[in-house]
Amino acid sequence: MTMLFDHPEHDGHESVLFARDTASSLRAIIAVHSTAAGPACGGVRFWHYVTEADALTDVLRLSKGMSYKNVMAGLPLGGGKAVILADAQRTKSRELLRAFGRAVDRLGGAYIAAEDVGITVDDVAAMREATRHVAGKAKGVHASGDPSPFTARGVFLGLHAAVRFQLGTDSLKGLRVGVLGLGAVGMKLAGMLHETGAKLVVADIDRQRVREAERAFGAEIAAPDLLPVQPLDVLSPCALGGVLSPEAIEKLRATVVAGAANNQLVDAAYGRLLHEKGVLYAPDYVINAGGIINVAGEVLGDYDEDKAIAAVERIPETLWSIFETARATDRPTSAVADQIAAERLAALAAAPGVRHAA
Ligand code: NAI
- Does 156 share its domain with 266? yes
Strands (E), 3-86: 15-21, 26-34, 40-47, 78-85
pLDDT digits (tens, 9 = 90+) for 48-71: 999 999 999 999 999 999 999 999
- pLDDT band per the 50, 70, 90 thresholds, residue 357: very low
pLDDT value of residue 2? 60
**Probe ligand 1: pick from 66, 205, 236, 244, max atoms within 8 Å of CB?**
205
Asked if the structure places residue 34 within a domain, the reply is: yes
- Does 157 share its domain with 109? no
- Does 35 share its domain with 173? no
Nearest CA to ligand 1 atom 33: 261
Amino acid (one-letter) located at 278? G
pLDDT at 166 over 70: yes
Does the Cβ of 123 fall within 6 Å of ligand 1? no
pLDDT at 134 over 90: yes
220, 238 Cβ separation under 8 angstroms: no
pLDDT value of residue 89? 64
Stated length of the chain: 358
Closest CA to 40 of 11, 6, 65: 65
Annotate 34-68 with b (16+ C-beta within 10 A) or e (fewer).
bbbbbbbbbbbbbbebeeeeebbbbbbbbbbbbbb
186, 239 Cβ separation under 8 angstroms: yes
Asked if the structure places residue 262 within a domain, the reply is: yes
Closest CA to 258 of 147, 162, 194, 152: 162
pLDDT digits (tens, 9 = 90+) for 26-38: 999 999 999 999 9
- Domain coverage including residue 273: 148-288+315-343
pLDDT at 200 over 70: yes
- Does 12 share its domain with 104? yes
Asked if the structure places residue 235 within a domain, the reply is: yes
Asked if the structure places residue 89 within a domain, the reply is: yes
Domain harbouring 216, CATH code: 3.40.50.720
Spot the catalytic one: 69, 81, 92, 137.
81
> What is the average per-residue pLDDT within 95-102?
98
Enclosing H/E stretch for 334: helix 333-350
DSSP letters, 198-256, are PEEEEE-S-HHHHHHHHHHH--EE--TTTGGGSS-SEEEE-SSS--B-HHHHHH---SE
pLDDT value of residue 139? 80
- Does 122 share its domain with 237? no
Q: How remote is the CA of residue 240 from the centroid of ligand 1, in Å?
A: 6
Interhelix angle 315-329/333-350, rounded to 10 degrees, is 110
pLDDT value of residue 356? 46
- Does 102 share its domain with 243? no
- pLDDT band per the 50, 70, 90 thresholds, residue 188: very high
Asked if the structure places residue 357 within a domain, the reply is: no
Q: How remote is the CA of residue 183 from the centroid of ligand 1, in Å?
A: 5
Ligand 1 atom closest to Cα of 259?
Answer: 30
Q: Please provide the average confidence, as pLDDT, over all residues in the chain.
A: 94
Strands (E), the chain: 15-21, 26-34, 40-47, 78-85, 111-115, 176-180, 199-203, 220-221, 234-237, 256-257, 280-281
- Does 46 share its domain with 119? yes
Share of the chain above pLDDT 70, in %: 97
Query: What are the residues whose beta carbons fall under 8 Å from the beta carbon of 1, sequence distance 6 or more?
Result: 53
Share of the chain above pLDDT 90, in %: 89
- Does 205 share its domain with 322? yes
**Probe ligand 1: pick from 46, 116, 156, 209, max atoms within 8 Å of CB?**
116
Ligand 1 atom closest to Cα of 289?
Answer: 43
Spatial distance between the Cα atoms of 103 and 105, rounded to a whole number of angstroms: 5
pLDDT value of residue 141? 77
- Does 193 share its domain with 96? no
Q: How remote is the CA of residue 161 from the centroid of ligand 1, in Å?
A: 22
Does the Cβ of 118 fall within 6 Å of ligand 1? yes
137 among known catalytic residues: no
Beta-strand pair 176-180/199-203: parallel
- pLDDT band per the 50, 70, 90 thresholds, residue 87: confident
Cα angle for residues 28, 72, 166 (degrees, 5° grid): 110
- Does 246 share its domain with 118? no
pLDDT value of residue 358? 37
Residues pairing with 235 in the sheet: 178, 257
| Low-confidence winner among 83-97, 145-159, 221-235, 292-306 (lowest mean pLDDT) | 83-97
Domain harbouring 114, CATH code: 3.40.50.10860
> What is the average per-residue pLDDT within 301-310?
94
- Does 211 share its domain with 323? yes
Asked if the structure places residue 279 within a domain, the reply is: yes
pLDDT digits (tens, 9 = 90+) for 212-243: 999 999 999 999 999 999 999 999 999 999 99
292, 73 Cβ separation under 8 angstroms: yes
- pLDDT band per the 50, 70, 90 thresholds, residue 355: low
Nearest CA to ligand 1 atom 32: 261
pLDDT digits (tens, 9 = 90+) for 252-281: 999 999 999 999 999 999 999 999 999 999
- Does 174 share its domain with 50? no
Domain count for the chain, please give it: 2
Does the Cβ of 185 fall within 6 Å of ligand 1? yes
Asked if the structure places residue 303 within a domain, the reply is: no
Does the Cβ of 62 fall within 6 Å of ligand 1? no
Asked if the structure places residue 324 within a domain, the reply is: yes
